[in-house]
Structure 1
């Protein structure tokens, strides 16, 4: 590419024109440098270029701190007695991890702290006039959004607007998770009728106003009106070239292939594309460059270099986590076709399945289980560093010198997430808490029949799931909703 030249602008034609040409050339050059820095996947670019990079989707000036360590240290026996004095039941991982039918008392006593966000959203809408059908009608459905309702414990789909197969799969995964939580609910008969809108896009602002009551995978701290739901990967993350399957199946694979702590590499591992969230990723690359404990590298999907499978991440004592992640390579080596994480990173839960220490910068985006992250104290289950990774060495090197302390954090990670809060039982309990808390502020009836169109307003989930793929695009059972 040839830069514009100012050689033909002579001072006699005017100092002002010469100056304007100089500014234009400088601006064009700066744009090229930033473009190169944002889109390059080279292992190294000059630090000056890194400093010029915009923060983009993963702003480096804000973060969210979670204050829920007390949720992990509560006495479970005390909680059970408070909720049901006559009950002696308690959660056991081997017995209950796959039990989707825990009742409300069992859910509350098994997963203290898991339902913080539905409680928060309920309080928000209690103070903002509660919710009605008119609030949903005011939401314009964009690509990646869907509208559904629960009536007499059954799930109906009103509208769905996937853009491409990726959206379609994610919408189906969300609906599948909701249906699973409903049919396994021992209190299904008392489920209140509700109607809701959800989005499978990474960012709230990509599809809707953050003041709308939309169900989303992740939110920033200031997006208080939205409701958090578990992400699509808990149902299954299957793409044509990367067939991961349901989350609990991935966990079982990892458990079989994980190795004892003493045999793990005493290094920090990370693989990814720097051009996805370059500000964050290049900060990690630079902070670990030339360090004996650093195994942090960029991935080249074309040449298939620096690729390691997810189970091989578990062979390291430390695993780095960065927001905006492209999915990590799992059990096959083909690249994904699209970027999937421009805000939160859906891959955190897979890293948490390893008996390793998760090292994460201060997070900007909140997922439904993030309240259980504990960066210090006896229940510490990960290591938190600054968003620019400036304190990475200071946090990591003491743990390398004291592997017993690092192992304690890794064990806490497993006990907290893999063996409790990321189990199938916890996921379904969370969904039912979301239904319940949302229902408490839902002020409208949910008609299943449209008098105007003389037909049902929604299509039952079981029928929707059987539609051929093309029929799911721009799907609606009521044109008045669009």
Structure 2
């Protein structure tokens, strides 16, 4: 046959292969999802970064098989903090977008110790040294506030658990130094700094410098929520087909944290039979609802507060249908939200909320499919305790590779020649948790004074024992 015929036939066959490979998958990049577009149309976050595409329509069933025989089973592995690095990659292949983004953001910049300095503009801060697998506290800010103290200790517990769970399984964690901000959002002084935070604002280029970590709710958030593992168990007790759930959309929250979003929700649902929406006041307990009680309802709606809404994590523990407005703030797993697949998008002013509730009441099979995908994607996989531990370890190793090698020891002012001239910087996590942690710890000089005071206390105790055996 004529050579032209064979060329044409090859072209057609190649086209068929490409269509079969790519045409059946619906993949969307992060910025095409439920994220509020930048106020500057020319701005693209991490502009040079080309994120990998995510197959949000991949069914995440009970198991993910692998060639070596191990597979992820959510009923068995969901609470396993000690999965190996290889098992983490098998179980949670699409979890690490924010880590990859941060690595790319800082790949051409030199991270220095001074970049981790704690400033007065950021309350709720802890500077941490990890040396020989041990966590040491270098500096804190905001410990006098109960909420910041709880957040700081929750983060430190998560880091400690993620490290100790794989001792003897993975390679030891390298030494590193980092600064964590536990306020709702990070504030930079002059130049952007590589702080670790719970969230970043999509429309703020400076926020691309933040390394996003799992928030404190993944440990516990009393009185609003129990320990996260227990909270997931409580939510599972309300599992039921949507048709058997209360046929209303439910929401609780305080209006003042974000009146631009929350007030329209309250107004759009006022007096509607399909809604159970109530503005709360923390000094009045009548409107407060336990987190697992949200799972009794057919529909839930999430709203942003001062920044991201940590409540979404708990709502995703339910097997109900979640409505999400376009968000401005991004948490570590938000790239997995896929409107129409595992959640339902509503307008930021909730003008279409009633219409969508009534639509899904008449199309329960469609609603159930979205709710099932939501449960499989998040509760059974990407927001499990196992996934959080994997994320922490992946993030810490990525940070250590991108950052500097920390100074681990400091020269002490000697009281006598018998004392060592050097000691490790900071104080151990165990000492920090057992001390009066309602006050802030400062630089190493102040920590030296703390150690000297402790030594004096021990010596006085020994004198007392000698006099009063």
Is the TM value for this pair above 0.5?
A: yes
Partner of 1:426: 387
Q: Aligned to 2:390, what secondary structure does the other structure show? A: helix
TM-score normalised by length of structure 1: 0.74
Alignment partners' CA distance in 1, 2:60 and 2:241: 29
Alignment partners' CA distance in 2, 1:77 and 1:245: 26
Partner of 1:292: 273
Alignment partners' CA distance in 1, 2:190 and 2:158: 25
- 2:87 corresponds to 1:87: no
Partner of 2:156: 175
- 2:283 corresponds to 1:315: no
Q: Aligned to 2:374, what secondary structure does the other structure show? A: helix
Partner of 1:40: none
Alignment partners' CA distance in 1, 2:424 and 2:311: 39
Alignment partners' CA distance in 2, 1:306 and 1:243: 13
Could you tell me how far 1:308 is from its partner in structure 2? 3.3
Partner of 1:267: 248
Partner of 2:319: 355
Q: Aligned to 1:469, what secondary structure does the other structure show? A: coil
Distance 1:132-1:301 versus aligned 2 partners, 3 A rule: closer
Alignment partners' CA distance in 1, 2:200 and 2:373: 26
After TM superposition, the structure 1 = structure 2 runs for residues 16-55 of structure 1, keeping only pairs within 5 Å, are none
Distance 1:243-1:398 versus aligned 2 partners, 3 A rule: closer
Number of corresponding residues? 392
Kept in 1: contact 2:65–2:72 (CA 8 A): no
Partner of 1:4: none
Distance 1:133-1:180 versus aligned 2 partners, 3 A rule: same
Q: Aligned to 1:108, what secondary structure does the other structure show? A: helix
Could you tell me how far 1:451 is from its partner in structure 2? 2.6
After TM superposition, the structure 1 = structure 2 runs for residues 351-430 of structure 1, keeping only pairs within 5 Å, are 351-376=315-340, 380-430=341-391
Q: Deviations over 1:288-311 (max 9, x none)?
A: 234332222223445544443333
Q: Deviations over 1:244-303 (max 9, x none)?
A: 331111111121244443221221111222222111111112222343322222234455
After TM superposition, the structure 1 = structure 2 runs for residues 66-77 of structure 1, keeping only pairs within 5 Å, are 69-70=54-55, 73=58
Alignment partners' CA distance in 2, 1:300 and 1:452: 51
Kept in 2: contact 1:76–1:90 (CA 8 A): no
Of 179, 182, 203, which residue of structure 2 is paired with 1:200?
182
Q: Deviations over 1:401-437 (max 9, x none)?
A: 1011111111112111111111110010000011011
Alignment partners' CA distance in 1, 2:390 and 2:280: 37
Distance 1:188-1:142 versus aligned 2 partners, 3 A rule: farther
Q: Deviations over 1:333-366 (max 9, x none)?
A: xxxxxxxxx1111111111111101111111111
Q: Aligned to 1:476, what secondary structure does the other structure show? A: coil
Alignment partners' CA distance in 2, 1:263 and 1:130: 56
Alignment partners' CA distance in 2, 1:383 and 1:117: 23
Alignment partners' CA distance in 1, 2:60 and 2:238: 33
5+ residue gaps, structure 1, are 1-57, 325-341
Q: Aligned to 2:237, what secondary structure does the other structure show? A: helix
Q: Aligned to 2:209, what secondary structure does the other structure show? A: coil
Alignment partners' CA distance in 1, 2:378 and 2:444: 41
Partner of 2:77: 96
Could you tell me how far 1:180 is from its partner in structure 2? 0.4
Partner of 1:130: 110
More displaced 10-residue stretch of structure 1: 453-462 or 301-310: 301-310
Kept in 2: contact 1:182–1:188 (CA 8 A): no
The Cα RMSD (Å) is 3.0
